[in-house]
Amino acid sequence: MTDTAAPDAALPAYLRRLVEAGDDLPLRHRMPRPTATARRSAVLILFGEGPRGADVLLIEKSAHLRTHAGQPAFPGGGADPGDDYPVGTALREAEEEAGIDPDGVRVVATLPELFLGPSDNLVVPVVAWWDDPREVTVGDPREVARVARVPLADLVDPANRFRIRHPSGYVGPAFGVAGMVVWGFTGGLLDAILEAAGLARPWDDADVRPLPALGARRPQLPGTLDPAEEEDAAAPTVADPAPDGPTARTVPPR
């Protein structure tokens, strides 16, 4: 792990614990060795304080993408020429995908790089704190279907925890939150982060479910809100793309 600044005593205790335990992130030891052709990538793990307490930013990729279609993820992507990799890459992608102003974000640390064999990506998770939370927006709807600030309380709620079985045989941790089923690399990274931050609660890891069809929403899962309740609870922190017109916004700019 690389610290980009000394741990700030003003940061939440869970975030300080994550930074201190970053070198031992459980997921790191389960990843295969990277290939010589692996593409350098970065994701932004952006924590903040929202209407419902501490939260983290997630996006849902567009169903029209050629890869990872419809999957929830952290904002991020491959490095571009001229990027200050990995921090600059993560911040640029978060601005493009979710309208995050880099000037309002304090980068705390970078976690050990992780190799994603199926996509041949070497990913560096960049941990940050949202000093000045603003609006959440959907960037290019061809790439991003929605953006959500997901309360950490929802992520650690045992009612929202289970494991997903992919048709390939993969079985891994998953979350049913903010109208999304978060699984795969993002689900595994979230699981490791919550553990390292000292936030994890016991949950039923024997609850294994098949991968939902693309576009399936959380109301199909136990321990969820119905659509009306979810809309009311999440309105300040979830952005869906408008069918036409300007980019969707849910929190007015300051």
Sketch out the chain's domains with CATH numbers. Answer: 2-239 (3.90.79.10)
Contacts of 75 (CB under 8 A, 6+ apart): 43, 44, 46, 57, 59, 90, 93, 94, 97, 98, 100
pTM, to two decimals: 0.82
**Counting beta carbons within 10 angstroms of the beta carbon of residue 53, is it exposed (0 to 12), middle (13 to 18) or buried (19 or more)?**
exposed
CA angle 170, 175, 180 (to 5 degrees): 105
pLDDT (tens place) for every residue of the chain, 254 residues total: 655 544 577 899 999 999 999 888 877 666 778 888 999 999 999 999 998 999 999 999 875 544 445 689 999 999 999 999 999 999 999 999 999 999 999 999 999 999 888 888 899 999 999 988 887 888 777 778 899 999 999 999 999 999 999 888 889 999 999 999 999 999 999 999 999 999 999 999 999 999 887 554 443 332 222 333 333 333 335 554 444 444 444 333 33
Q: For residues 81 and 96, what is the distance between their CA atoms, to the nearest angstrom?
A: 16
Euclidean distance between CA atoms 49 and 246, whole angstroms:
26
What is the spatial distance between Cα 174 and Cα 186, in angstroms, rounded to a whole number?
9
